[in-house]
Structure formats: structure tokens, C-alpha cells
Amino acid sequence: MSLSTSSIRVGVGGWTYEPWRDNFYPQGLPHNQELHYASRQLTAIEVNGTYYSTMKPESFRKWHSETPDDFIFSLKASRFTTNRKLLATAGESIARFIDSGISELQDKLGPIVWQFMPTKVFDEADFAAFLALLPKKEGSRTLRHVMDVRHDSFMAPAYLALARKHGVATVFTDSDKFPSFANLTGDFAYARLMASSAKLKNGYAPKAIEAWASHAQSWAEGGTPSGLPRVQADADPAAKARDVFVFFINGAKEKAPAAAGALLARIRPRRS
């Protein structure tokens, strides 16, 4: 199967992880060169640190300068925006995150992930108010948002309709800890893969890597991959080409770079 890959990005969560210094980074690589190295093996990185603390514009500017022109950063938004009883009250927190300097990433700024607690139940009115608070742009730059919803109540047509109305994507995950559905809600697809095994060389079996390559291609071509769970009785939106982001995030995290590398090798030549 020949894959079109211009819109498919593959990466991991972060770039600082002690076990990767044994199986991903070259021996003796200075820690301050890890982003430089990782960004030339992968095509995207999801930043988790922005979930826990507010970064300075200088940090985003530095990340931009250390990575290739076609590299993409996905940012996890501050937990103070999503870990609250009433999402409708998150306006100030959202603004603080957006204004923290993320625009310094320029064209390397990818989707913003809004992650919710597994106990957060879908409340249509409150969630609608939250989505209305999300800015469409930062300056002249268009922002893309993706919802990481983790309660079964979100697996409902009402949520799908709301997400589509506001043009936000929804995370798909292969973890059995969280609900997941492949129904498309935005103009891009976003997968966070969390089921890697320490027993496998690349974290995932070759057949699984092949399957994810096929799923990514289906999303990129505007379709919905077959074999993935869906909210039933939902009509697919009109098919159109989409950007696709696939991140190996959790499970046996030490295997994440190998899994990402295996998928990248399947869908495109590695960078020289």
C-alpha cells in the first residue's frame, strides 16, 4: 500500500525522558541537544509541560529555533482551564494560556489539546459555553483545538454536534481506560496512542503499526477508518482531506520513540 504522507504527523509526548537516553538518544548526547535530535527523527511533539505550568515566550522562541522548518508542536493547554466544576468560568484562564507566548512558535504551532478529567461529565450547556470561549485566532494565526474527553457521557450525538458546530477535533485513543470514538468532529484527526507494550521491540506489533498507517491514511483522505469504535447512528461529515496527528504517549513510554519511528518508516522516508 502506497501512502500519501504530506498531512500525516507522527511523534511522542515531550522529549525529556531518562530511559530514552538508553534507547533513543545517541550515547553521550548533551541534554540540551535532545530537542534538536528528536525533532529530526520525528515530525511532531506533543508538549505536556504546558499542562502543568506556564511557559515563557522565550521558551517557545527557543523551541522554534531548534527545530526544522516543517516541524510541529502540539501543546496541552493549562489544567487550570479544564479541571474546574464550571467550564463556562474558564475565560480568564484560557486567555492567560493563549497569551503566554505560544505565538512565538509561529508556523510550528499545531493543535492545542484541552484535556478533561475522567470524572468530567458532559454537560451540553456548560460545554457549549466553554467552546464559545476558545479563540479562533491568536493575532493573525488561526488556532486549532482538540478535545481530550475522558467520560463515557461524551459518546453522544449531542457532543458530536456541538464539537462540529465549533470546528474542534476530538482525541482518539487506543487506551481501554478511556472512551474513544473515531467519529470526525474537526478538520483534522488527532490520535493519542497509549497501549504500547514493553515486551515488543517497537511497543506495537508490526500488524498494529500497519493498521495505524492505514487508519492515518484514511483520516488524511477524509474518510473514517474501518474497525475503530464509533458513536452509532452518526452520519459522517463530507469527505475532505485532513491533517493527521499521531502521538505515542503512554503505556510503555520507553518504547514511544521506537513506535513512532516504526510508523514513520511505514509512511514516509526518514529525514537524513
The pLDDT tens digits of the residues spanning 9-45 come to 999 999 999 999 989 999 999 999 999 999 999 999 9
Q: Backbone phi, then psi, for 196, in 5-degree steps?
A: -70, 150
Distance CA 158, CA 191 (A): 21
Distance CA 251, CA 233 (A): 32
Q: Does residue 257 sit within a domain?
A: yes
What's the chain's average pLDDT? Answer: 92
- In the block, cell 502506497 appears at 2
What is the domain-level CATH number for residue 170?
A: 3.20.20.410
Q: Does residue 272 sit within a domain?
A: no
Write down the pLDDT at residue 204: 97
Strands 141-142 and 72-76: unpaired
Q: Does residue 106 sit within a domain?
A: yes
Q: Does residue 252 sit within a domain?
A: yes
DSSP annotation of 61: H
User: 112-128: per-residue pLDDT in tens?
Assistant: 999 999 999 999 999 99
The confidence band for 1, taking pLDDT boundaries of 50, 70 and 90, is: very low
Question: Quick check: helix, strand or coil at residue 209?
Answer: helix
- Domain of 146 in residue numbering reads as 8-267
Strands 169-173 and 44-47: unpaired
Distance CA 73, CA 14 (A): 10
The predicted model gives 50-54 an average pLDDT of 93
- Going from the C-alpha of 212 to that of each of 27, 72, 217, 219, 228, the distances in angstroms are 30, 20, 8, 10, 11
The predicted model gives 61-89 an average pLDDT of 97
Question: Which residues make beta-bridge pairs with 73?
Answer: 45, 109
As given in the structure block, the three cell numbers for residue 165 are 458546530
Q: Does residue 208 sit within a domain?
A: yes
User: 141-188: per-residue pLDDT in tens?
Assistant: 899 999 999 999 999 999 999 999 999 999 999 998 998 888 899 999
As given in the structure block, the three cell numbers for residue 141 are 494565526
User: 178-204: per-residue pLDDT in tens?
Assistant: 988 888 999 999 999 999 999 999 999
Q: Is the Cβ–Cβ distance between 5 and 262 less than 8 Å? A: no
Write down the pLDDT at residue 154: 96
Q: Does residue 3 sit within a domain?
A: no
Q: Does residue 223 sit within a domain?
A: yes
The predicted model gives 79-98 an average pLDDT of 96
As given in the structure block, the three cell numbers for residue 126 are 456548560
Q: Does residue 1 sit within a domain?
A: no
Contacts (Cβ under 8 Å, ≥6 apart) of 53: none
3-state percent breakdown (helix, strand, coil) of the chain, nearest 5:
35, 20, 45
Write down the pLDDT at residue 11: 98
How many structural domains compose the chain? 1
